[in-house]
Each structure stands twice: as structure tokens, then as C-alpha cells.
């Protein structure tokens, strides 16, 4: 009988495209305190006294190998790490002229990199990671880093309308934003890359952009290939040099972007909304730019599968994903996005039990 791996060994094998003893499992995105409380038996007071601790106990009970983060609501009555105001981005109170002026006042990408205090930032990065890993115990702490690589989704700062107007009317300012995003992403990549080399971070990182709707990218693919892809390639270099596989978070229909994402250095994908045409069976036929299989974090949908299927159907979907990826891609079980209150606990247990109870 093959030896049973630890969670770290299991994830390390999958990230290195080697066969683990079983499919690894990632968690951390249950965005409903009531579900966490039901798993652990904690009451509301116990949860809010230590939401991280109770959440970690829940993921430990579910059998997680690693965690991509922890969703804790900002306040009681919430069910995500954000609130309704987070998505009110159509009007940030900033005019288009003010947004352009703000961009003009931003430092150059070169200055951002030159002023980056790598040693001080690395000390903070490692200290935070050590503290959280100590709380996680045997589960591997590997939170997403949305700043790594590069950035195109500046609508959070300027609002959707302003941002897309800048892309259309002020392409020079849009290019500056993309170059700044690449500089910031490279700085973050350097931190992660050193941590990987020193054995302080696993060999994969979740990153990416919410820049696609259900119909496809919200910006011309030609524009992104010309101005964003070079910045992404630049930002991903420190990760790839350290042997860390960048895994792209895929909301919406990402298919029109996949060629340039892979060419820039993306080596895996997470997400997959089947209602947007993102089908695992098609995506795993792709290869990295080095010709290797993709690393997949997936692929249970939180829209069309987990909330509506029966536990038996969920188990069957997990087994099918394993069969589909066998010999074609390196699969780590995860969901397409956050697990919200509409997902029954029985289905969550069925998803993980399909692997743990085999």
C-alpha cells in the first residue's frame, strides 16, 4: 500500500505535477458564519469571540489540506468578507477629470520598484505567514495574492464608468495604470518567490483579475494583449523563476484571454462557471507555455451545482472531475468561488467526502 502523505506533501506533489496519494483539498471560502457554526457546534458568541479560530476548526473538521484564505464578515449579519458597499463602484464620487489628474500624480513604475523596501516588506510578509501557519497547524496556509502578477481592474479605485472611460478616451493613462500594476505585481512576486525558495511558501499561488463578464472580457482582448500581457509577464517572472506556479482565478468567460494568459506565464486556473462556457473537460486539454499540464483548482460551481444538486450528484461530479483530469491535469479540489448561504451543508460534506471517504 502506498504511504499516506501529509497535507503539505500532498499539495507539494500536486503543485509539482506529481501524483499525490489522493486528490488534495483546498478550503477557506465558506462565506457563511452559520455554516461554520453548524460544522463546529459553536454558538454565535463563540464565533464572534474568535471567528478565525472557529473557522479553522471547521476546515480542520472537513479535512482540508490547505486554505486559500478565510472569509470573515465585517460585522454580524454579514456573510462575506465584504459588504454591499464594496460593489457600489459605478460612482465613487470622483469625476473623470479628477481620476485623470490622480493618475497623472501617481509615481512612475520605475519609482515604485526603486522605492520598494524589499527586506522590510519581506520581514512583515514572513512574520504574518508564520503566525497564520501556526494557527493552521497541519493545514497549509496559502492565501490568494490578488496584487501579484499585474493589475488591470482599477475600477475599484475609480469606479466602473471612470475606469472604462479612461481606457477608451485616455489610453496613455490606461497604459500607465497597467505599468504601475505590473511594477506592484513584480514586487509582490519577489516576496513570494523568495518565500518559495526558502521553503516558507508552497509552490503555487492563486492570483488573477475579475475582468470578465458572463459574455467575455470587459476590455478588448487586443488591447489587453498589447498593453496588459507584457506587464503580467513581467510581474510573473519572479514567481516562475522560483518554481512557483501562478493559478489564475477565473470568474466569467475567461476563454478569450486564455492564450495570452498562458503565454504570459499562467500555469493553472481556478474557478470554472459552466454557465459561462468554462468547461473543465475543454480547459484541461491546454498546456502551459512549457508544454506541461495545467494545475487546476476546481471545479465545483457555486452557482449551478453546489446550491441545487443532491449530495449524490455532488459526489458524482467530484469523481467525474478526478477522472477527467487523470493523466491530463493536476487537480486540487476547490470551488468556483465563495460558498454562500444557499449551499446546503450536506452538499459541502458530500463534496469533500467524495475524496475523503473513497
Q: Which residues are CB-neighbours of 71 under 8 A, at least 6 positions away?
A: 28, 29, 30, 31, 55, 80, 81, 338
* Residue-level pLDDT at 74: 80
The span from the CA of 296 to the CA of 293, in Å, is 9
* Residue-level pLDDT at 90: 59
Taking CA atoms, 112 is separated from 150, 185, 227, in Å, by: 13, 11, 19
Strand-pairing partners, residue 141, are 67
Q: Would you write out the chain's pLDDT as a tens digit for each of its 358 residues?
A: 468 999 999 999 999 999 999 999 999 999 999 999 999 999 999 999 999 999 999 999 999 999 999 998 888 877 665 555 555 555 778 999 999 999 999 999 999 999 999 999 999 999 999 999 999 999 999 999 999 999 999 998 999 999 999 999 999 999 999 999 999 999 999 999 999 999 999 999 999 999 999 999 999 999 999 999 999 999 999 999 999 999 999 889 999 999 999 999 999 999 888 899 999 999 999 999 999 999 999 999 999 999 999 999 999 999 999 999 999 999 999 999 999 999 999 999 999 999 999 7
Predicted structure pTM score = 0.95
* Residue-level pLDDT at 78: 73
How many alpha carbons fall within 13 Å on the CB side of residue 350? Answer: 20
274: exposed, middle or buried (C-beta count within 10 Å: 0-12, 13-18, 19+)?
A: middle
Please name the helix (run of DSSP H) or strand (run of DSSP E) that holds residue 207, with its range, or none: strand 204-207
The span from the CA of 140 to the CA of 351, in Å, is 20
* Residue-level pLDDT at 1: 40
Amino acid at each position: 500500500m502506498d504511504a499516506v502523505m501529509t497535507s503539505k506533501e500532498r499539495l507539494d506533489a500536486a503543485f509539482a505535477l506529481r501524483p499525490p496519494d489522493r486528490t488534495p483539498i483546498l478550503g477557506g471560502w465558506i462565506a457563511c458564519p452559520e455554516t461554520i457554526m453548524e460544522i463546529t457546534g459553536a454558538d454565535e458568541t463563540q464565533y464572534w469571540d474568535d471567528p478565525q479560530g472557529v473557522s479553522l476548526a471547521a476546515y480542520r473538521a472537513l479535512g482540508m489540506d490547505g486554505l486559500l484564505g478565510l472569509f470573515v464578515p465585517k460585522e454580524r449579519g454579514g456573510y462575506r468578507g465584504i459588504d454591499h458597499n464594496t460593489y457600489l463602484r459605478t460612482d465613487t464620487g470622483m469625476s473623470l477629470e479628477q481620476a485623470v489628474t490622480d493618475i497623472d500624480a501617481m509615481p512612475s513604475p520605475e519609482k515604485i520598484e526603486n522605492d520598494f523596501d524589499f527586506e522590510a516588506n519581506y520581514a512583515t510578509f514572513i512574520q504574518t505567514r508564520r503566525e497564520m501557519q501556526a494557527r493552521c497547524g497541519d493545514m497549509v496556509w496559502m492565501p490568494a495574492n490578488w496584487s501579484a502578477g499585474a493589475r488591470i481592474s482599477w475600477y475599484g479605485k475609480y469606479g466602473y464608468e471612470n475606469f472604462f472611460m479612461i481606457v477608451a478616451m485616455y489610453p496613455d493613462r490606461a497604459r500607465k495604470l497597467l505599468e504601475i500594476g505590473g511594477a506592484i505585481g513584480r514586487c509582490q512576486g519577489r516576496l513570494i518567490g523568495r518565500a518559495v525558495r526558502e521553503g516558507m511558501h508552497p509552490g503555487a499561488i492563486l492570483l488573477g483579475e475579475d475582468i470578465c463578464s458572463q459574455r467575455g472580457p470587459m476590455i478588448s482582448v487586443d488591447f489587453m494583449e498589447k498593453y496588459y500581457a507584457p506587464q503580467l509577464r513581467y510581474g510573473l517572472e519572479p514567481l516562475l523563476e522560483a518554481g512557483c506556479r501562478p493559478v489564475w482565478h477565473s470568474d466569467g468567460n475567461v476563454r478569450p484571454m486564455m492564450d495570452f494568459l498562458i503565454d504570459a506565464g499562467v500555469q493553472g486556473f481556478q474557478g470554472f462557471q459552466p454557465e459561462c462556457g468554462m468547461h473543465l473537460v475543454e480547459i484541461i486539454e491546454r498546456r502551459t507555455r512549457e508544454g506541461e499540464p495545467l494545475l487546476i483548482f476546481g471545479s465545483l460551481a457555486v452557482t449551478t451545482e453546489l446550491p441545487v444538486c443532491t449530495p449524490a450528484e455532488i459526489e458524482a461530479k467530484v469523481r467525474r472531475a478526478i477522472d477527467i483530469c487523470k493523466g491530463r491535469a493536476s487537480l486540487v479540489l476547490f470551488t468556483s468561488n465563495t460558498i454562500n448561504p444557499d449551499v446546503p451543508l450536506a452538499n459541502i460534506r458530500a463534496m469533500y467526502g467524495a475524496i475523503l471517504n473513497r
